[in-house]
Structure 1
Amino acid sequence: MYDAHIHLDKYSESKQQHILQNEAINGLIAVAMDYHGSQKLLDLVDHSKVNIALGFHPEQRLNHAEIKEILSLIDNYHNQLTAIGEVGLPQYLKREQPKLNVQPYIEVLEQFIIKAKQYRLPIVLHAVYDDALVTLDLLEKHTIEKAHFHWFKASDDVINRLLTTDYMVSVTPDILWNPKTRKIVSSFPLERLMIETDGPWPHDDFEPHHIHAQLSAIIEEIGHIKSIDTETVNLTIKENTIRFYNL
């Protein structure tokens, strides 16, 4: 069982150990949000279960000096990275700041896409709703083969556009209550799905460091939605993650 998207650097050391010592967890895709988080993840690069992605989360004010440092880290450590990310566009920041100029965020996203192309690494994306359309145009422009839209949700038109690609999506425990997430699972074939906690993001009825419980609940619910037995769901999603991230 793999957690395809977790902010491992945001946990205390004791909570990290709790997660990493769970034998039911085969591995994690640990994504960075900023330069400090990137450095903390690089300290864990030798752990067998930790697979690192470096990036700059878009739901924050752009810091071009920091972004330049992260891009340099990618250059220096690309052989030790599993992916680029988390990167994308500021959907929720735009809602808070309707006058936000999004063009600089698009330009930053493109810089990270170029790095993914340069080093032949998958890219982990925060790109939901109509932001996915802008992102898909950039991915097509740079002929990116592997893209992972995490915690994806969108309109029917955007879902259908993404379905025409080979890119992957992942879902969190909000599959238990969020109709938008349940729709993604209904729309995408099982071979295009991965599962994630986005930890330590809080999900109702779960402790943020109880990764196995969260992933198990997602798998069971995917089985219910798709009328597929839990064992098949678990095995297929595990294989999807291994294949996509070359684990």
Structure 2
Amino acid sequence: MRTRPLAISRGLERGLRGLKAIDSHAHLEELKDLESCLRRAASRGVIAVVTAGSDASSSRFALEARSRFKELGIQVFGAIGLHPWSLRELGRDGIEEALDFIEARAGEAVAIGEVGLDYWLPEARRDGEGRRLQREVFARQLRIARKAEKPVVVHSRGAWKDCLEMVKEAEVEALFHWFSGPLEVLKELLACGYCVSATLALDYSEEHRRVILNTPLSRILSETDSPVRYKGRFNREAEPADVVDVVAMIASLKEVGLEEAAKHCLNNAIRFYSLPSELG
């Protein structure tokens, strides 16, 4: 049975009508015409974006972004990390260089991320060297996060349970980004106090909707994962302005007002990332 699109309020193209939003997870260095994207986001009520690193280069960009875009009417904060998708191309020397950079600069970031495990990658489909390397790199970044007292932004595709167990063992705060895993894992991660983030995939993904339906508003952040290309009505590269539509779909799915959904997502992002309180 085809998933029916969620309602999005008329006139939302003009923004949140006095409300505010934070895109809690994007990869700004990959966006074309970034300044125009950020201006569009600001015009729709987006007041901040957290840009996540996936290797040393993008992590360096994330740390520098805060001072580069202040004049655009939107604040940018940086998370730094080594993504499991980056490991194969980097090789052992590149991995060590990236991890050394992350460890040295962790104190400047709002979080360690995007980090985690991905068992759907060809080299990690079976329990062998590919998975061992991912777990080794993730474990080191969890140790960095704990030492620096930073939360982690977790990529957990196909490795939901293993990610949860490693985060629990590390005793760090965690956001399970774009979580679409099993409900039994969701129940456990919520019991541990962790958060999940919602994306434009709410438009078509039953798994993602089920997660958000079963998560209290107090644990949901809104994100775009820009510039990922979604299906459904958003069949194009996402940009931070689209987080407004994510908030609207959360409101529709949870059957609450737009104001309530926006307030929760905003405050949850501020709290999780320890962003300036004046953003609220």
Q: Under a length normalisation based on structure 2, what TM-score does the superposition of the two structures give?
A: 0.80
Distance 1:112 1:243 in 2: 21
Which region of structure 1 is more displaced relative to structure 2, 185-194 or 69-78?
A: 69-78
Higher relative contact order (CA 8 A, sep 6+): 2
Which among 5, 16, 19 is matched to residue 37 of structure 2? 19
Which among 35, 47, 50 is matched to residue 76 of structure 2? 50
* Matched residue, 1:70: 98
| 1:55 maps to amino acid | G
Asked whether 1:37 is paired with 2:58, we answer yes
How many residues align? The count is: 242
C-alpha deviations, 1:22-63, integer Å up to 9, x for none? 422211111111122223333324245111111111134163
Larger radius of gyration: 2
SS at match of 2:49: strand
> 1:92-171 maps to which residues of 2 (within 5 A)?
92-94=120-122, 97-98=125-126, 100-101=128-129, 102-129=131-158, 131-144=159-172, 146-171=173-198
SS at match of 1:203: coil
Q: Which 4+ residue blocks in structure 1 deviate beyond 6 angstroms?
A: none
Distance 1:172 1:209, change over 3 A: closer
Q: Note the C-alpha offset of 1:209.
A: 5.3
Q: Unaligned 5+ residue runs, structure 1?
A: none
**Alignment check: 8 A CA contact 1:19 1:209 kept:** no
| 1:115 maps to amino acid | I
> % of aligned pairs identical?
26
SS at match of 1:125: strand
Asked whether 1:182 is paired with 2:212, we answer no
CA root-mean-square deviation? 2.0
Distance 1:114 1:96 in 2: 22
Q: Under a length normalisation based on structure 1, what TM-score does the superposition of the two structures give?
A: 0.90
Q: Note the C-alpha offset of 1:94.
A: 4.3
